[in-house]
Amino acid sequence: MTKQILKMTVNGQTEEVLVEPRELLVYVLREKIGMKGPHVGCETSHCGACTVEINGKSVKSCTMFAVQAQGAEITTIEGLGTPDALHVLQTNFKEHHGLQCGFCTPGMITRAHRLLQENPNPTEKEVRFGIAGNICRCTGYQNIVKAILSAAAEINASKEAAQ
């Protein structure tokens, strides 16, 4: 089937790859662009391990063909922080033990990142509902919720300090 040149911005870098229409975005991100943070945990669009941010939306990249993302701005976990300068969500997941095997973590943090932009002061209930599209097998969620609430408080405190 007709291949096409796909151009998109991934973590601020322009990427150009040749893709078949049937290639799922998560596959192109992992295998062709080298962003292996987004994971594949299911084939039924439930688990959210493949979550990335596309044009300001949290999207399960296993349920989107890469060609649909033509021209899109994509952020994966690799774009949120670096090992030397972790994103505040990353430091809080570490601090509060919000991960164990780490397989859901890239999707979880990418989703949490979007959630906090839309709702900077979520309640515990809103955090749980807001990450309901992300399944974790290890943590029991409790520490993920703590990490996100703590990150929110930290972001808000630094915003206040800046004002």
Partner 1 sequence: MIPAAFEYHRPADIRGALSILVEHGDDARVLAGGHSLIPMMKLRMADVPHLIDLQDISSLKGITIEGGRITIGAMTTQHELITNDALHAAAPLLREAALQIADPQVRYMGTIGGNVANGDPGNDMPGLMQCLDATFTLEGPNGTRTVQARDFYEAAYTTDRDDAEILTHISLDATTAGYAYEKQKRKIGDYATAACAVLITKENGVVTSASVAMTNLSDVPVFSEAAAEALIGGTCDTAAVKAAVAAALADIDPTEDNRGPVKFKMHVAGVIIARAIERAWSRA
Concatenating the DSSP letter of every residue in 117-135 gives: HH-SS--HHHHHHHTTT--
**Geometric angle at alpha carbon 60, from 75 and 70, rounded to 5°:** 60
Residue (111 or 146) nearer to partner 1, CB: 111
- Region from 7-15, 30-38, 60-68, 81-89 binding partner 1, contact rule CB under 8 A: 60-68
The separation between CA 155 and the C-alpha centre of its own chain, rounded to angstroms, equals: 18
Place of tokens 């972790």: 86
**Geometric angle at alpha carbon 15, from 52 and 70, rounded to 5°:** 65
Residue (43 or 84) nearer to partner 1, CB: 43
State the minimum distance, in angstroms, from the CB of residue 21 to partner 1.
4
> Is residue 131 a contact residue for partner 1 (CB under 8 A)?
yes
State the minimum distance, in angstroms, from the CB of residue 67 to partner 1.
5
- Region from 7-15, 98-106, 125-133, 151-159 binding partner 1, contact rule CB under 8 A: 125-133
> Is residue 132 a contact residue for partner 1 (CB under 8 A)?
yes
> Is residue 60 a contact residue for partner 1 (CB under 8 A)?
yes
Per residue in 78-103, is it b (16+ CB within 10 Å) or e — as a string?
bbbeeeeeebbbbbbbeebebbeeeb
Token couple for 94: 């570490």
37, 38, 122, 130: residue in contact with partner 1 (rule CB under 8 A): 130
Look at residues 133, 145, 127, 131 and name the one whose alpha carbon lies nearest to residue 47. Answer: 133
Site residues for partner 1 per CB under 8 A: 1-2, 4, 20-22, 24, 40, 43-46, 48, 51, 57-60, 62-65, 67-68, 70, 111, 115, 130-133
